[in-house]
Structure 1
């Protein structure tokens, strides 16, 4: 996910209109087949900062515990870690990610690494080159390879090898702009430059750890036309990867029926498993810090009639997402990662700013566990 208000500029220049045939409501019946999702976890990259601000978390029994331990006790098995190159002091740099990786391993969690290849937030509306990096194509090809290789090696050296890595964050419009910008303002599409950068990053990751799984992460959860446009081109340019990663925020990415149709199409069309690398849903429309949220009373939730913005509605939404994933054929629905479910008031999306997602968490404004934490259970 991106910073507070920059999200969700439309995908410029995509071919085709997103289309998904609506599937019957019965498709979301719980307990469909007993399958276990192999990935059940969350991105908790803000956790150290929140703890430093004095935030505490309580489990269902009211006990104060580290957030990653609360999730693990509910059945979570993965932690996603954001890494920026040279962010503002206190934010998610490599040192912080390495420290949080040690906590993850102690809690029995595996790791998905999420390098943004940027000094701060990177998403479809912005992908700035780190200030210390080259700005030419040959220099960036070398830098993304060596940076990725050393980053992966650093996690292995400290005894916390990663299991999966994203080559960029929500790369729907490219990476390392303007060199790897996919859609230029004049309508030009730079697929060769963009995919060459992806291939170099992938090469670096596999030089460091041959068996690491490569995720290509876009933000088109329920948008089939956009997803096809992106991954058809990825296939054309022969980018080697293992997993299709999607962000799914229904207020921006469509209904659960559209999500299901898109994921079914993707696993059949590309013969790859899918992972919801970011998911969130409101448990309230109130604002925990009184400084503004990106989701509020005027936000359209496509399935609000079944899943209102309440703790019970949020829990029901996550159950429905589980069911969509479990119904994908041959275990191709790997699982889901909630996005910053611990980001309650206390830390802003940038220094001095608001916590703009504090009503999309899985803890209430005081740090008490919400019912949606049951999404992490096995099976």
Structure 2
């Protein structure tokens, strides 16, 4: 965000509520910890491709089983599904997500749907409009609403209704660029356009869910960064965007220490009166490279709590246990839980066709597909 524009100044200029009107975290936070986590799951959208590449997964005892069943046996109760509009062949389109949703249901898991509203990767650094979609704002508001409505209906129609849907993926800097890009190169901030698109997507999701209770989530990538989180959700509140859950990505190498994460989550539930969910989490179990083609997190990565959680199998397991502790300390059971990101993405499938598996040391399975001790973190108690 541009440092020359204050949070208070923008809210006043937008005619929104002042920061002082938001309920202080200290006034709302209670002291009742949760005894369990209602969401314990993973995004395993690469799973079908990995199986097609010949990868087989084994549980802690060495038995070959489908990866989602291995996690479900340990207590996982949610599967997060990525959906791209028209990705390269074999990648996560609607048909693949629908098929994986059926597998999730058979394993006893609920569905968290993650439409990127893009043909391929969408994140804070890029949010490209699908090639087949219109590009003007008015038409995009119609399109995101009808697309989301149809998507949710398709999941319900096959008996796998969506339980949580996030309106875009890591939308910290906007969605459907440039029409909904939040920060333009000239310093312009398009809060009106961005929030209009979020509202349209949310409306479509709620229209498509029928009688099933669907919760909506806004997902950003600021796990341990309280100031950035406040800036985003203060504005979301000012512009009147409806949502049920605050979603955060938390990768400690980029998003701060465990203590900073805990402080931010507790602040958020008090400040916005909403529960929080860690929609993406990962931590290295090694600095080795499973496919020898490079990883995004290597031995030079900054891990703020590395003394507590070294990049080892046990260090990773301890990280997830500590994460559970953070979430259970969020007041009134509002630390809903966590979703590990692509814990099955072992070598075999690249982030794009012909590329490397750049996260193969952040998985919860080793390079051969055998489960690591950290999967015990999915347990219910």
TM-score (norm 1): 0.92
Answer yes or no: is 1:134 the counterpart of 2:151.
Answer: no
Residue of structure 2 equivalent to 1:119: 119
Structure 1 residues 15 and 258, CA, compared in 2 at 3 Å: closer, same or farther?
A: farther
| CA 1:137–1:13: 2 relative to 1, 3 Å | farther
Asked whether the 8 Å contact 2:76–2:379 carries over to 1, the reply is yes
Q: For residues 125 and 12 of structure 1, do their structure 2 counterparts lie closer, same or farther at Cα, with a shift above 3 Å needed?
A: farther
1:61 shift after superposition: 1.0
Q: Deviations over 1:12-55 (max 9, x none)?
A: 659679xxxxxxxxxxxxxx967110000000000000000000
Q: Partners in 2 of 1:365 and 1:34 — Cα distance?
A: 35
| Distance across 2 between alignment mates of 1:349 and 1:189 | 31
Query: Is 1:237 the counterpart of 2:239 in the alignment?
Result: yes
Matched, 1:164 2:164: yes
Cα deviations across residues 121-147 of structure 1 (Å, max 9, x unaligned)?
A: 000000000000000011100000000
- Post-superposition, which runs of at least 4 consecutive aligned residues in structure 1 deviate over 6 A? 14-17
Which aligned pairs between 1:79-90 and structure 2 lie closer than 5 A? Answer: 79-90=79-90
Change (3 A) 1:246 1:33: closer
1:370 & 1:168 partners in 2: Cα distance?
Answer: 30
Once residues 109 and 146 of structure 1 are traced to their aligned partners in structure 2, the CA distance between those partners, rounded to angstroms, is 27
- Give the equivalent residue in structure 2 for 1:42: 42
Q: How far off is 1:186 after superposition?
A: 1.0
The equivalent residue for 1:102 is: 102
Change beyond 3 A, Cα 1:14–1:264: farther
Corresponding position of 1:344: 346
Taking structure 2 as the reference length, what is the TM-score of the superposition? Answer: 0.92
Distance 2:209 2:318 in 1: 38
Contact 1:217 1:245 in 2 (8 A): yes
Cα distance in 2 for residues equivalent to 1:35 and 1:95: 37
Q: Cα gap change, 1:74/1:16 in structure 2, threshold over 3 Å: closer, same or farther?
A: farther
Task: State the distance in 2 between where 1:329 and 1:261 align.
Answer: 11
The equivalent residue for 2:71 is 71
* Structure 1 residues 314-329: aligned runs within 5 Å: 314-329=316-331
After superposition, residues 220-299 of structure 1 pair within 5 angstroms as 220-299=222-301
Aligned-partner Cα distance in 1 for 2:91–2:263: 37
1:247–1:276: 8 Å Cα contact kept in structure 2?
yes
5 Å matches for 1:176-195? 176-195=176-195
**Once the 2 structures are TM-superposed, how far is the Cα of residue 315 of structure 1 from its aligned partner?**
0.4
Alpha-carbon distance in 2 for matches of 1:308, 1:15: 39
Aligned-partner Cα distance in 2 for 1:225–1:15: 14
Q: Give the SS at the match of 1:246.
A: strand
Does the CA-based 8 Å contact 1:45-1:80 persist in structure 2? yes
CA contact (8 A) 2:222 2:248 kept: yes
Q: What is the number of equivalent residue pairs in this alignment?
A: 355
Deviation of the 1:114 alpha carbon? 0.1
